Amino acid sequence: QFSDSAGYVGFANLPNQVHRKSVKKGFEFTLMVVGESGLGKSTLINSLFLTDLYPERYIPGAAEKIERTVQIEASTVEIEERGVKLRLTVVDTPGYGDAINSQDCFKTIIQYIDNQFERYLHDESGLNRRHIIDNRVHCCFYFISPFGHGLKPLDVEFMKALHGKVNIVPVIAKADTLTLKERERLKRRVLDEISEHGIRIYQLPDADSDEDEEFKEQTRASIPFAVIGSNQLIEVKGKKIRGRLYPWGVVEVENPEHNDFLKLRTMLVTHMQDLQEVTQDLHYENFRSERLKRTGK
């Protein structure tokens, strides 16, 4: 099985051992989506993972929305691809930004994130650590409206409140309402405002020597990703693709020239592990230290 070349011990095989165990175990990942209603969050999630997480959707009318507070809805789906199992939990936050006075709408969200940390801390400190489930939020897609001129006050407040608790990935939704120039302008505006307010969004780790340095740079330069989602299949040039049909043409979801969807998906999938690690090593550890300090020894 292994060439017994002189001097070859064989521990270089360790990554394969880890690989094998990981495939058996599978992965868990929790993704939160936050943004005003109607920005295409659900459609985007479905497009990203090629699933239908919201089969029977009920969209409330305006009158109902007045009274609404933010809900937290988590749905879990198991995705398997080439033997690799992923247990994906998507945490949706309907009602965010709906109320006339949205002052408190992210309190519920913060509480949810903290609760997951609290639960994990409790499990980790317990006697029986056999069945610890990691429900902590590993990543939060924050949807920015393409209709404004950058970040809204609510966007700024939310991100400032959450950037110490979760990895924030800002996303410009419904990007097909913008031309390329308008997109670039909006992206720059958003980035400036993020930096102005000292908001810490998720940073991609530096590329390894053998990874595609250029690709990583391109990805980094595209943040915030301007995306389009679609649940519809349209026939274009003999192929069925996901897209949106307009009288003036078809917007293709998976066409990198049309939007950053592929970049977003690639980034998410290749950085799932890093997102989990940053959640564990940074956000969770911060929570834990604060919590333990408060309890006092």
Partner 1 sequence: GSSLEPQERSMEPPAVPEEEEPLTAASGPEGQQLFGYVGIEAVLDQMKIKTMKMGFEFNIMVVGQSGLGKSTMVNTLFKSKVSPKSSQPGQEERVPKTVQLQSVTHVIEEKGVKMKLTVTDTPGFGDQINNENCWDPIIKYINEQYERYLREEILITRKRKIPDTRVHGCVYFIPPTGHWLRPLDLEFMRRLSKIVNVVPVIAKADTLTLEERAEFKQRVRTGPRGARGCPMSPPAPLKPCAPQIQEDLRTHAISVYPQEDFDQDPDDRALNDRIREKIPFAVVGADQEHQLNGKRVLGRKTKWGVIEVENPAHCEFPLLRDLLIRSHLQDLKDITHNVHYESYRVRRLSESHRLALSPLNGLPPAPPAAPTAPPQRCPSPA
Residues 157-216 that bind partner 1 (CB under 8 A): 176, 179-181, 183, 208, 210-211
Site map (CB under 8 A) of partner 1, residues 211-250, x = contact: x-------------------xxxxxx---x----xxxxxx
Number of CB atoms found within 10 A of residue 81's CB = 8
The distance in angstroms from the start CA to the end CA of the chain is 54
Q: Does 132 bind partner 1 (CB under 8 A)?
A: yes
Q: Do residues 139 and 169 make contact, with C-beta atoms less than 8 angstroms apart? A: yes
Q: Does 270 bind partner 1 (CB under 8 A)?
A: yes
Query: How many residues sit in the footprint of partner 1 (CB under 8 A)?
Result: 93
Between 52 and 192, CB nearer to partner 1? 52
- Nearest approach in angstroms of CB 26 to partner 1 is 10
Between 158 and 263, CB nearer to partner 1? 263
Q: Does 54 bind partner 1 (CB under 8 A)?
A: no
Between 99 and 207, CB nearer to partner 1? 207
Stretch that binds partner 1, among 14-22, 34-42, 107-115, 213-221 (CB under 8 A): 14-22
* Options 84, 184, 200, 215; binder of partner 1; rule CB under 8 A: 84
Q: Does 51 bind partner 1 (CB under 8 A)?
A: yes
Site map (CB under 8 A) of partner 1, residues 21-50, x = contact: xxxxx-x------------------x-xxx
C-alpha 46/C-alpha 134 separation (Å) is 23
Q: Do residues 251 and 259 make contact, with C-beta atoms less than 8 angstroms apart? A: yes
* Options 62, 63, 100, 127; binder of partner 1; rule CB under 8 A: 127
C-alpha 162/C-alpha 184 separation (Å) is 26
Q: Does 17 bind partner 1 (CB under 8 A)?
A: yes
Q: Does 66 bind partner 1 (CB under 8 A)?
A: no
Q: Does 85 bind partner 1 (CB under 8 A)?
A: yes
Q: How far, rounded to the nearest angstrom, does the alpha carbon of residue 183 sit from its chain's CA centroid? A: 21
Q: Does 259 bind partner 1 (CB under 8 A)?
A: yes
- Nearest approach in angstroms of CB 287 to partner 1 is 12
* Options 57, 61, 131, 214; binder of partner 1; rule CB under 8 A: 131
SS3 letters across 146-198: CCCCCCCHHHHHHHHHHCCCCCEEEEECCHHHCCHHHHHHHHHHHHHHHHHCC
Q: Is 39 exposed, middle or buried (0-12, 13-18, 19+ CB in 10 A)?
A: buried
Q: Does 62 bind partner 1 (CB under 8 A)?
A: no
Radius of gyration from C-alpha coordinates of the chain: 21
Type of residue found at 279: T
What's the full length of the chain, in residues? 297
Say which residues have a Cβ less than 8 Å from residue 246's Cβ, sequence separation at least 6. none
* CA distances to 8, 87, 214 from 2, in Å: 9, 34, 35
- Nearest approach in angstroms of CB 202 to partner 1 is 15
